[in-house]
Amino acid sequence: MGQTTSRNDFIWTYTEQPHMSRRETILKKYPEMKKLFGVDYSFKYVVFVMVLFQIFMCYLLQDADWLLILIEGYVCGGVINHAMTLAIHDISHNTAFGNKYPLRNRFFGFFANLPIGVPISVSFKKYHVEHHRYLAEDGLDTDLPTELEAHLFTSPFRKLIWLLFQPLFYAFRPLIVYRKAPTDLEILNAVVQISFDLCILYFFGWRSLLYLIYGTLIAMGWHPSAGHFISEHYAFKEDQETYSYTGPWNLVTFNVGYHVEHHDMPYIPGRNLPLVAKIAPEFYDNLEVHHSMTKILWDFIFDPKLGPYARIRRPARVPQAFYGHYALRPYWDAALYYIGFYAIRDYAQSLLLDLNNNTAKQKLL
């Protein structure tokens, strides 16, 4: 249905991503930019209130009509839950408590994850680090659509379907493109999230739980706030890899729209990102900027130059790494050492070794 996309391959490039060199140049010229780095001290309180608000909505909607739940899930829950996914994005950069306290940030990510309904916080962090470090690199950046997605979703109707199921593609694409071993924090994230979901189910019922999950799924698909998935890296111009958005949706998405600035300065919290271009305007004035999420989605669906193929892609510099970082292992080791587990283990192994040696001597006699 409708005109198919004019592209039949990704936009391959063999140059490095622009953000690292631009960061170095900007910081050299404007060292005061580093004052914007660090913690957003109001951020954690905003997230706290938003989580409590969603729990309050679960209380209000526990006996509501299904039509009202669908409307509230789109208009209210969808906006809040999408904001929570972007709060998790900011938390993955340690902007809640700073780089000195990575575990505090991970545990706060568990908390921000609660209204979303499915555990994503730690897994997102794991792959998002690769997205920044290896932007658009084949097999390393799972933000890139797969060849199958790009080949199938080419007409306006198919692109509309692709947008609807975008959260599923984002969830399962890493399992196909770049599989990694689950970490201890991912398992703990899942345990905490499932426990919270069961509490919502027990105290408020199915309607409230589905309000949360529906809001998450719809807000990442057919929803204006989901336009940032398209605006950030899809090639509206052949020679520009990342784009910023300066419209009102930034007010409820922790300024994720300032995406060029974010990739240039990933340690600046969202609250301060609009200041980057004001300090160093000559680095940003010549870049194309988006102003409307609705127009972004409209153009993506109906412009034949746009589609899943409209992404810059570069060959990978390094091989994939299957095993990740197990952040809790030192704490488990310390706890086991404290209760004497390792001493008992070593003693048992020595007894077993002595027993084997005595058995071997008896056989020789």
The pLDDT, as a whole number, for residue 127 is 95
pLDDT at 1 over 60: no
pLDDT of 365 over the 70 cut: no
Q: How confident is the model at residue 354 (pLDDT cuts 50, 70, 90)?
A: confident
CA distances from 31 to 25, 35, 95 (A): 10, 8, 20
Per residue in 28-58, pLDDT (tens digit) is 999 999 999 999 999 999 999 999 999 999 9
Q: Residue 277: pLDDT above 70? A: yes
Each residue's pLDDT tens digit, 104-146: 999 999 999 999 999 999 999 999 999 999 999 999 999 999 9
> Are residues 161 and 153 in contact, defined by beta-carbon separation less than 8 angstroms?
yes
Tell whether the model's pLDDT for residue 82 goes beyond 70: yes
In this prediction, residue 334 carries a pLDDT of: 76
Q: How confident is the model at residue 323 (pLDDT cuts 50, 70, 90)?
A: confident
In this prediction, residue 352 carries a pLDDT of 82
Checking if the pLDDT of 174 tops 80, the result is yes
As a whole number, mean pLDDT of residues 280-306 equals 95
pLDDT digits (tens, 9 = 90+) for 212-227: 999 999 999 999 999 9
Q: Report the percent of the chain where pLDDT is more than 70.
A: 97
Q: How far is residue 219's CA from residue 154's CA, in Å, rounded to a whole number? A: 22
Mean pLDDT of 246-252: 94
Give the model's confidence band at 2: pLDDT under 50 very low, under 70 low, under 90 confident, else very high: low
Task: Please say if the pLDDT value at position 198 is more than 90.
Answer: yes
> Would the pLDDT of 190 be above 80?
yes
The alpha carbon of residue 163 and the mean position of all alpha carbons in its chain are separated, in whole angstroms, by 17
CA distance 108 to 89: 12
| 360 band by pLDDT with thresholds 50, 70 and 90 | low
DSSP E strand stretches across the chain: 11-12, 244-245, 289-290, 312-313
Residue 330 confidence class, pLDDT cut points 50, 70, 90: confident
User: How sure is the predictor about 314, in pLDDT bands with cuts at 50, 70 and 90?
Assistant: very high
What is the arithmetic mean of pLDDT over 191-211? 97
Could you tell me the residue ranges of all domains in the chain?
11-313, 329-364
The whole-number average pLDDT for the span 294-309 is: 94
Mean pLDDT check: name the lowest of 10-19, 46-55, 289-298, 349-358.
Answer: 349-358
**Can you tell me the mean pLDDT for 86-110?**
95
Rounded CA-CA distance 94/133 in Å is 16
Residue 200 is which amino acid? I
Q: Tell me, letter by letter, the H, E, C secondary structure of 217-280.
A: HHHCCCCHHHHHHHHCCECCCCCCCCCEECCHHHHHCCCCCCHHHHHHCCCCCHHHCHHHHHHC
Averaged over 76-82, what is the pLDDT? 94
| % of the chain at pLDDT higher than 90 | 83
At 158 the three-state DSSP class reads helix
